[in-house]
Structure 1
Amino acid sequence: MKFSLCLLPIFLLSISHAQDEQGFVPMFNANDLKGWVNANCAPETWSIKDGVISCNGRPTGALRTERQYENFILEAEWRHLSSAGNSGIFVWGTPITAPGVPFLRGIEVQILDHGYMKNADPTKPRWFSTHGDVFPIHGATMNPHGDSNGMRSFPSEERSKPSPEWNHYRIEGNNGRLTLAVNGKVVSGGDECNYRKGYLALESEGAPVEFRNVRIKELPSTNPAADVTAPLDQGWKALYTGTDFRGWNVPAASSSRWVSADWQIMLAKGAAADPLWSAQEYGDCEIICDVNLPKSTDLSKAAAGLCMRGLSRPLVLLGAGEASIVIGADKIKPGQRYRIKATLKGNTVQVLLTETQETNPQTFETILDSKSPGPIALADFGQTVSYGNIFIREL
């Protein structure tokens, strides 16, 4: 058989391309979100039809994979449906949101429409672009490639297309190294990422966005250590949709106090009113709840707290007052966010309180008066605090 030498480069290129394509599998099927977990959004935030994943942008949050990934090549097409739209792909993320924010801890691959640049101040140093920034968020770390601001890697070229055109991303993660190709060329990335194994996620952040042709090719493991591996999901379920009070019983007399504000539940100005009780009852369980104490918070009075098992006396109280566990001004301060993690088994309670990034842990224990299942509640003491990232897992 004769073979023209002039065709050899084309032949070899086609073989190489075919080999590169081998091993990719779709991350979505055509018409449902099987294999993915709605981390902290409303049920209607994410949908899929004919292979196109749609996000309405409300609330701020994430749709993540059911399992973790380590080394991989991920390809996805995306487009914003409005000018200045904001979204992203989270790489090597945590199963639930980081303390005090609606985002997973991990590496974010930015998906930002060009209209967002109107918010940039040209007199100040550059701190973002709309062409494929890569950066760690909320406790993650990375050594950025190329031009950077802190740990944020700026793209070397401006290659993304504006709304409503489709863009193509190719994200490669291998042994803690992450690179992003925008519409066919690598432009940004970083080394020594921590984490380097975790969940992958699509982001909802205020604007409608679509994804399609999302596929992945897994690469051989490089055996990451435990300290660079995200924690595994333990079965956490979000109790708040981020859009309304489905699953909660809003007291009629104080409905104007409780405000659904994206990923947070805020207390408006006014006199103290009844707690916000969950519609469902829980027995043995573990609860996570973040509390934001504004600088105006008066810790000489009760500020925020959680009630459990249907008991009106708070289990945990931040500030001063009557409760099973009182965490006062000697342990907390205004202007900070705190994460409460309470574990209830029988009538025994263990509470872990941490600051943002889960630093400065403080532990408390107590005995409740009841072992019976009951609802949980967010307390209202008349101060303008806010609650967020409310998760529960039954034990």
Structure 2
Amino acid sequence: MRCAIALLFVVSGSLVRAADDGFTPLFNGKDLTGWTTYLRPSKDIPNPDPKTTWQVADGVIRCNGKPNGYVMTEKEYSNYVLKVKWRYPAELKAGNTGVLLHCTGEDKVWPSSIEAQLRSGRAGDIWLNPGADGKLPTLSFDAGLKDANDKTDRHYFRIDKDKPVEKAFGEWNEYEITCRDGSITLAINGTKVIEGRNGSLKKGKIALQSEGTEVHFKDIAIKEMK
């Protein structure tokens, strides 16, 4: 009986803490309810099956990275704090994915959005993805962040780009993404890595990329703000 009471207390306590911090899960740990999927068709696979790319088990979304595409929230969000944990399998030597923010327009690779990069070694960079009209979203950054080799005005390095902020492959990392009134701030494992202000995109859906390599996601939660 005492064990049962203790277990109830622990469960109840975690529920109270979850409610107190104001975050709402976007992923239920069981399936992709609340999300839609898109995978880029090809000549070999004109109708790719999302179930071969995305699987859910033990509270984790597992993506094998092929073909390119994403899972996307059914709802749109504007002002919020988003938390996402990710890891690459320990046996990999490189990984690539990202979190797409303020997604709008047609499904394609990639939709009009602002990408919070998760490529290994470059997590915390920002990429701007153009819409159907070819126009890039805009963000204002501090001097020195732009990729000097990128002539498209799309890629912005994180602060202290050569300072490691990611954990070893096989270990879980946490993104904390704050979007408010067109501004976006990214923090990785508790360290602020970049901030963009006065963005032209202020509302849209949230997506997790499938982009060539296996990656796992869990503990996806959002706290909306006014």
TM-score bin (small chain): 0.7 to 0.9
Counterpart in the other structure of 1:108: 115
Tell me whether 1:144 sits opposite 2:141 in the alignment. Answer: yes
The verdict on how the C-alpha distance between 1:166 and 1:200 changes in structure 2, with shifts beyond 3 A counting, is same
Tell me how far 1:66 sits from its aligned partner. 0.4
The verdict on how the C-alpha distance between 1:177 and 1:70 changes in structure 2, with shifts beyond 3 A counting, is same
The verdict on how the C-alpha distance between 1:153 and 1:21 changes in structure 2, with shifts beyond 3 A counting, is farther
1:29 is paired with a residue whose SS is: coil
Equivalent positions of 1:122-161 (< 5 A) are: 130-138=122-130, 139-145=136-142, 147-149=144-146, 150-157=153-160, 158=163, 159-161=165-167
Q: Which amino acid aligns with 1:87?
A: T
> TM-score, with normalisation over the residues of structure 1?
0.44
Tell me how far 1:144 sits from its aligned partner. 2.4
Once residues 20 and 125 of structure 2 are traced to their aligned partners in structure 1, the CA distance between those partners, rounded to angstroms, is 26
Of 57, 60, 68, which residue of structure 2 is paired with 1:52?
A: 60
**Contact 2:174/2:189 (<8 A) preserved:** yes
1:147 is paired with a residue whose SS is: coil
Q: Which amino acid aligns with 2:123?
A: H
Counterpart in the other structure of 1:308: none
Q: Which amino acid aligns with 2:140?
A: N
Q: RMSD of the alignment, in Å?
A: 2.0
The runs of 5 or more residues in structure 2 that have no matched partner are: 1-16, 41-48, 131-135, 147-152
Counterpart in the other structure of 1:73: 81
**Contact 2:145/2:159 (<8 A) preserved:** no
Tell me whether 1:39 sits opposite 2:42 in the alignment. Answer: no
Once residues 18 and 55 of structure 2 are traced to their aligned partners in structure 1, the CA distance between those partners, rounded to angstroms, is 33
> TM-score, with normalisation over the residues of structure 2?
0.76
Tell me how far 1:134 sits from its aligned partner. 1.6
Structure number with greater Rg is 1
2:169 is paired with a residue whose SS is: coil
1:30 is paired with a residue whose SS is: coil
Deviates more, 1:68-77 or 1:18-27: 18-27
Q: Which amino acid aligns with 1:184?
A: G
**Contact 1:145/1:153 (<8 A) preserved:** no
Tell me how far 1:152 sits from its aligned partner. 3.2
Counterpart in the other structure of 1:299: none
Counterpart in the other structure of 2:218: 212
Q: Which amino acid aligns with 1:84?
A: A
**Contact 1:113/1:162 (<8 A) preserved:** no
Equivalent positions of 1:23-38 (< 5 A) are: 23-38=22-37
Once residues 116 and 27 of structure 2 are traced to their aligned partners in structure 1, the CA distance between those partners, rounded to angstroms, is 19
**Contact 2:116/2:123 (<8 A) preserved:** no
Higher relative contact order, structure no. (Cα contacts within 8 Å, ≥ 6 residues apart): 2
1:140 is paired with a residue whose SS is: coil
**Contact 1:72/1:219 (<8 A) preserved:** yes
Once residues 206 and 222 of structure 2 are traced to their aligned partners in structure 1, the CA distance between those partners, rounded to angstroms, is 11
The verdict on how the C-alpha distance between 1:189 and 1:151 changes in structure 2, with shifts beyond 3 A counting, is farther
Q: How many residues align?
A: 185
Tell me how far 1:19 sits from its aligned partner. 10
More strand by share: 1
The runs of 5 or more residues in structure 1 that have no matched partner are: 1-17, 115-129, 221-395
Cα offsets for 1:144-187 (capped at 9, x unmatched): 24532245332224311232221111000000000000110211
